[in-house]
Amino acid sequence: MANRLSDTEISTAVAQLTGWKLDGKFIVKKYRFSEFLKGVAFVNEIANLSEEKNHHPFIAIDYKLVTLKLTSWSAGGLTDLDTALAKRYDAIYEQI
């Protein structure tokens, strides 16, 4: 498990992400889709990547809006894995 990021490291990392917000020990982003099933397809890709990396976001599907919340609960906070996966999620979103 990666080491927990310091507050300074978190601020720097979150500033380099697009549309992600810091919420306590989580980073959070809402993704909007033109169709409900596109959001479901996005979640399915996220789920497969989560299993592959054994690192899982909390996922909410609210019709055409998908919210992802990331933290490294084994580390008790944010790690590089969270920020790296946030970028992967954004790349997947661009492909949907």
Ligand X SMILES: C[C@H](O)[C@H](O)[C@H]1CNC2=NC(N)=NC(=O)C2=N1
Q: Where in 38-57 is the site for ligand X (CB under 6 A)? A: 54-56
Query: CA-CA distance, 35 to 65, in Å (whole number)?
Result: 9
Residues 6+ apart with CB under 8 A from 84: none
- Scanning 4-12, 20-28, 33-41, 68-76 for contacts with ligand X by CB under 6 A, the matching segment is 68-76
Cβ at position 44, least distance to ligand X in Å: 17
Q: Using CB under 6 A, pick the residue from 26, 31, 46, 72 that binds ligand X.
A: 72
Stretch that binds ligand X, among 3-11, 14-22, 31-39, 69-77 (CB under 6 A): 69-77
Q: What is the DSSP letter of 77?
A: B
SS3 of 50, please?
helix
Give the residue among 18, 14, 29 at the shortest CA–CA distance from 80.
Answer: 14
Measured from the CB atom, the residue of 1 and 35 that comes closer to ligand X is: 1
Chain residues in the site for ligand X (CB under 6 A)? 54-56, 71-74
